[in-house]
Structure 1
C-alpha cells in the first residue's frame, strides 16, 4: 500500500511520484462514481412550518417584540375565544378639564364631552353661588361622565367638583340616577392673619428676607417701597432689622396664598426708623407721619429724543421766527403719551394749531399740555396718575410729521419743561390721618410668623364638614 501512495510534495517527477498521482486520481474517480447525489439533506422540523410561528421565533431576539409589543400574541386569547364584533363602551369616564384664559365655563364643559343640557344646568348652579367669570383661569374641574343613553348621544354628568374660590369647593351630583343635578357647597376654613417676617440684614437684604420665609414677590415690593425712602446701598448695613407684613391666607386643606405687601419697615441703630403702610384705594405707601410716597421729578411724556427745544425759532410751516413754548419729542405715529405726574384733565380735544391735545393741571399751579395727538385716551375732568397713557403721537394741527409738542406753564406763564424738577408727596390729615395711625398700630401688633400657626378653632366646631344644598330641577 505504501508503494501506491506517495507524498506528492517530494520527489516530484520520479516514478514513485507518478504512481502516487495515479492512485489519487483513481480514488477520486471511484468516490465520484459511487456518490449518492448532490441534493441537500433536510432534517424533520422541530416546530410547525407556519409563517406566523416562524416570525414569532424571529422576534424573540428583540425584547419588546418578544413581550408581544407588535401583535400581542403572547398574551392573546386561546383558540376557543372569539373576538367581539365591537368593543363595549366604558360605563364611566373620569377626566380633568382645565378652565383656560378667556374660556367660558359652559364651553369648557361641552368641550369635555358633557351633555349640553347638563352643561347649562351646572353653569346655572355654579353661577348662583359664585360669579362664573371670576373663577380663576387654570382651575381644574374633576368630571365623571356616565354611560351614553344612545350611541351618538353625549355622556350625561355623574359628578363634578372644583375649587371655585380659595375658601369654597363646589360639587355637583345627581340625587338619583337620571334625576336632577344637586349642588353641594363645601366651605373651607381660611386663616386671614397677615404674615409678618422679621430678621437681621446680612450681606444681601433680598437673600436675608427670602431665607426668613418671605415670598419673592413680597420682597421685591418691599425693596421697591424702601427705595423712595432710603438709599439701600449706602444707608442699610448688615445687622439692621427688616420688617415685612403681607396679607396671607392659609386654608384648612393646607394651601397658602400670599397677597400684597401691607407694611415695610426698617430699624437701624442711631437712625430714624422707616415705617411704611399701604393705604387708600390706590394702594400707595404712607409713612407713619402720614406723608405719602415721594415721586421725585417728572417722567418723559413719550419715549423719544428731543428734536426742538424751548425758545425762539423759525416756524417750519409759517416761515417766520416766533416763540417755541415747549419741547418737541420725535416719536413714531401711535406711540403712547403718558402724564408726567399726577393731575386732572382740564381740557381734551381740538386746540387750534396744537391739533388734538390734552391739558393737565397739577399741584403747585403747574399745567402741562400735550399737542398733535392722533388719538386722545382721557376725558375732561378725569384724574390721571403719573405714567398713565393720555393719548398717542400723531401729526394733527400745524405739524410737519409725527411728534409730540410738550408745553409747561407755571401760574399761566410758559416755562422751559427741561428746567423743572417737580416733586409730589401726598399727605394725610384730620380724621383720615387718625384712622391711618390706628390701623398702623394694629397691624404692628401681628406677631412674626403668625400666619404659620394653626388655624383658629371655631366656637362650636361641627362634627363634619358644613354642607349647603341647592337643587335645580
Structure 2
C-alpha cells in the first residue's frame, strides 16, 4: 500500500483539455464582481471592463430603430367600395355624423323633392345686454318680421325686455326654399304686468295684450340679529338686494362692526307680485335699526327738489362734502399764493389752484349750487362761477367750452364745462377758485359739507309717508331673539 501511494505521487498528472482549464480559470477569477466594493482594485477594474464589454456587445447586436417595410393593401375598386359601404354600419356607429351614406340598392328610389315640416316650434331667451330684435334674429325670424314685431310692441317693452324672458316662437311654412319661414306666433312677457301674444291672421301679424294683475304692496321684514345681521335678515326672507341696500344705508349712521346679537332691524322694500306668481324686488324704501341699548335709526328715501336721497326721521338729509378735485385724475400744478405770472412776467397773487388735465376733460361742480356767471371773463377766459349759499362760491376758469347757463341749478358731480386754455393761459388746465364772503381763499384750507333739511309741507308729507310705511304689516317671519343664530317664528300684527 505504501509503495502504491509513493508511486502515484511520483507519476505526473494526466494532461487536462482546454475546457477544463477554462472552467478552472473562471472559478478562480471573478469576472462579475460587485462594483460597489473594493473600488479601485484589480478585481473592480476587471468587473468594469466586463460591464463595458457587455454594453458594447448589446449595442453592436441591437436591431436598430428603422421601420420595417410592409406591403400596402390594394385599393378597392369603386364597385367593391360601394358593395362594402352598402353592408357596413359605420354611419350608425358614429351617430350618423360620418358624412357617408348607405349604398343604394334596387329597392331605393331617389325623391324628386324633400317635403318640409309644416311649422317649427322653438323657444328662445333674452340674454344679458340683449334685445328682443337680436333674440328673434338668432331664432331664425326674418328681418322683415323682426321689424314688424318691434314696431308693434315697442311701446310695451319700454327700455327693453328683462333678461331671462322666454320667447315661445312658431315659424310657419315658407312659400319657397329660397324665402325665410314666416313668423306665425310669438308669446312673451313684456313686463311683469303685461303678456304679449302675436298671431298671423290672414297673412298679417296681429297683437293681443293680456294685462296681469300685480300687487305693489311694499314688503316689510323685521327681526332680531343673531350671529350676523345679513344671515339673520336672509333667514327671515329678505331678498339679497334689499339686505345689501339696507346695510349700505345704515353703515352711514352706525358702525356695522358694532352690531351684535339682540339688535333689531326693520326693512321695507318695493315688492311687486303678479297673479302668475312672478315677483320683482324694487328699491329699498325704509331702513330701521334699533340697538338693544342705544339710539334708534330711522331712514326713509325721499325726493326733494329733484334729488332723491335718504333722510332721517327728523327730516335731515345726508351730509355731502365737496369733491377732492373738480377734474378726474388731475394733478395740481400750481398752488394758492404769490407767484411769478408765466405770461405777464411779474409776481402777483395767484388766487386759486391749477389742475393740469387733458384738453377737453370734463369739469365737475364740486357741490350743489346755482350758476351765478357763465361766459367770457377777462383773463379767466371761459369762466363759470357757482354760488353754494352761506357766502360760499366756486369759480372755474380757462374752459374750452361751457356746459352751464346762468341761473341753472347744478348738482355735485354735474358737468359744467371742459378743460381748455382760454384767456391768459399757457396750456390746457383748470384754474379753480373758492370764495368766502366774496373774497378768495385757499381752496385747500376750506372743508365744508351740505345737508338737506325738509321744512313746511314737504316735511309734513315726509312724516306722513314714514308713518304709512311703519304701519305696514310684517310680510314674512321674524327672527327669534332667543336663538344665537337666525331662527324664525311667525310675526303678526303691525
Aligning the two structures, in what range does the TM-score lie when normalised by the shorter sequence? 0.7 to 0.9
- Following superposition, the deviation at residue 54 of structure 1 comes to 4.0
Deviations 1:366-386 (A, max 9, x none): 100112223333332222211
C-alpha contact 1:195 1:451 (8 A) present in aligned 2:
no
* Corresponding residue of 1:223: 247
How does 1:75-114 map onto structure 2 within 5 Å?
Answer: 79-96=106-123, 114=141
- Asked if residue 51 in structure 1 is aligned to residue 81 in structure 2, the reply is yes
Supply the distance in 2 between the matched residues of 1:182 and 1:73 (Cα, whole angstroms): 45
- Following superposition, the deviation at residue 314 of structure 1 comes to 1.1
* Corresponding residue of 2:218: 194
* Corresponding residue of 2:424: 398
Distance 1:203 1:113, change over 3 A: closer
- Following superposition, the deviation at residue 274 of structure 1 comes to 0.5
C-alpha contact 1:192 1:249 (8 A) present in aligned 2:
yes
SS at match of 1:438: helix
- Asked if residue 439 in structure 1 is aligned to residue 489 in structure 2, the reply is no
C-alpha contact 1:248 1:451 (8 A) present in aligned 2:
no
* Corresponding residue of 2:172: 146
Supply the distance in 1 between the matched residues of 2:99 and 2:145 (Cα, whole angstroms): 41
* Corresponding residue of 1:349: 375
TM-score (norm 1): 0.73
Aligned with 2:445 (options 419, 437, 452): 419
- Asked if residue 287 in structure 1 is aligned to residue 317 in structure 2, the reply is no
* Corresponding residue of 2:62: none
Supply the distance in 1 between the matched residues of 2:214 and 2:279 (Cα, whole angstroms): 9
- Asked if residue 381 in structure 1 is aligned to residue 411 in structure 2, the reply is no
Aligned residue pairs total 396
- Following superposition, the deviation at residue 278 of structure 1 comes to 0.6
- Following superposition, the deviation at residue 184 of structure 1 comes to 2.0
Deviations 1:185-223 (A, max 9, x none): 222221212122323334544444344433333333223
* Consecutive unaligned residues in structure 2, runs of 5 or more: 1-78, 479-494
Supply the distance in 1 between the matched residues of 2:200 and 2:372 (Cα, whole angstroms): 60
- Following superposition, the deviation at residue 93 of structure 1 comes to 2.5
C-alpha contact 2:371 2:387 (8 A) present in aligned 1:
yes
* Corresponding residue of 1:18: none
Supply the distance in 1 between the matched residues of 2:215 and 2:105 (Cα, whole angstroms): 62
Supply the distance in 2 between the matched residues of 1:451 and 1:319 (Cα, whole angstroms): 75
- Following superposition, the deviation at residue 317 of structure 1 comes to 1.5
SS at match of 1:433: helix
C-alpha contact 1:329 1:403 (8 A) present in aligned 2:
yes
Distance 1:300 1:80, change over 3 A: same
* Corresponding residue of 2:11: none
C-alpha contact 1:299 1:387 (8 A) present in aligned 2:
no
CA RMSD of the aligned region, Å? 3.3
Deviations 1:395-425 (A, max 9, x none): 2222222222110101211111111111211
- Asked if residue 70 in structure 1 is aligned to residue 98 in structure 2, the reply is yes
- Following superposition, the deviation at residue 445 of structure 1 comes to 1.8
Supply the distance in 2 between the matched residues of 1:145 and 1:397 (Cα, whole angstroms): 66
C-alpha contact 2:311 2:318 (8 A) present in aligned 1:
yes
Supply the distance in 1 between the matched residues of 2:231 and 2:360 (Cα, whole angstroms): 42
- Asked if residue 263 in structure 1 is aligned to residue 289 in structure 2, the reply is no
C-alpha contact 1:264 1:276 (8 A) present in aligned 2:
yes
Aligned with 1:167 (options 176, 193, 212): 193
SS at match of 2:452: coil
* Consecutive unaligned residues in structure 1, runs of 5 or more: 1-48, 453-473
C-alpha contact 1:193 1:450 (8 A) present in aligned 2:
no
Deviations 1:437-470 (A, max 9, x none): 1110111122333599xxxxxxxxxxxxxxxxxx
Task: Kindly name which structure, 1 or 2, has the bigger radius of gyration based on alpha carbons.
Answer: 2
- Following superposition, the deviation at residue 341 of structure 1 comes to 1.1
SS at match of 1:426: strand
Supply the distance in 1 between the matched residues of 2:97 and 2:135 (Cα, whole angstroms): 36
* Corresponding residue of 2:43: none
* Corresponding residue of 2:38: none
Supply the distance in 2 between the matched residues of 1:408 and 1:59 (Cα, whole angstroms): 88
Comparing 50-59 with 90-99, greater Cα deviation is found at: 50-59
SS at match of 1:87: coil
TM-score (norm 2): 0.71
